[in-house]
Chains A and B, each alone.
Chain A
Amino acid sequence: MRKFVFLIMIATAGASWAGGNPAAGEQKAATCAACHGPSGVSASGAFPTLAGQHEDYLVVALEQYQAGSRKNPVMAAQAVNLSEQDIADLAAYFSKQKHLYTPKLAR
């Protein structure tokens, strides 16, 4: 029984971690769009394209801006007010847009 409860706890912890909501993220992404483009494909090389980036990478990037371990004045100012849920939602939204991909060496 104890083992069973433990398994449920692990399963729900996993579910809440993965709980980014792309629809909510789209609503929260209006500010991001000014630089990163409306669907995360930026128009300028000064700003990275986010569309199709890995969800967990986007979460780590925003957390690092928030903590100050990754330094960028503009992004630090944006990230400072984001909750954990905001970060999860934004990452879910941008990762589900199509653009970026894993490159291969073939010619």
Chain B
Amino acid sequence: MKYRVYASALVALLSSVAASAAGDAAVGRTKADTCMGCHGIVGYANAYPTYRVPRLGGQHPEYIVAALKAYKAGARTHPTMQAQAASMSDQDMADIAAFLSQAQSAEK
């Protein structure tokens, strides 16, 4: 009986990890349209201050999700990115991150 409790706890733990990690790159591609307006243009620059927007291709999906969550929570500030992240669900973030991390390169 004790083992059954441990086993079900383990299953619950594993499935929660899987759920939080599961981003669908194909779905993310359709959700990333807005992102690509800046991040998909080679050399695109942020204004005031001027610097090129970060390259996201090949970035860790977990890091992209963490950045989006920080923008949504207001822990990281950038007017445009906060506005974008505000309407994203956790699933949106996971899907978008999955797409960006493994997208083809626009620089080749």
Contacts and interface: CB of A to CB of B under 8 A. Distances in A.
Interface of A: 42, 44-49, 52-54, 56-57, 59-60, 69-71, 99-107
A105 B77 contact: no
Nearest to A44: B60
A49 B106 contact: no
B104 interface: yes
A47 B56 CA distance: 13
A52 B106 contact: no
Most buried by B among A54, A56, A71, A105: A105
A84 to B, nearest CB: 15
Interface residues of B, number: 36
Contacts of A45: 60-63
Given A45-B61, A48-B63, A60-B51, A100 B56 contact: yes
Contacts of A49: 58-60, 63
B68 interface: no
Contact of A104 (B58, B59, B66, B104): B104
List the 3 closest pairs (A to B, CB-CB), nearest first. Answer: A45-B62, A103-B103, A104-B106
Contacts of A104: 36, 40, 103-106
Main secondary structure of the interface of B (DSSP, over half): loop
B27 to A, nearest CB: 13
Contacts of B50: 56
Contacts of A56: 50-52
Most buried by A among B55, B56, B63, B77: B55
Given A52-B58, A103-B39, A103-B104, 12 more contacts: A45-B60, A54-B52, A99-B58, A100-B57, A100-B59, A101-B105, A101-B106, A101-B108, A102-B39, A102-B40, A105-B32, A106-B104
Contacts of A48: 59-60, 63
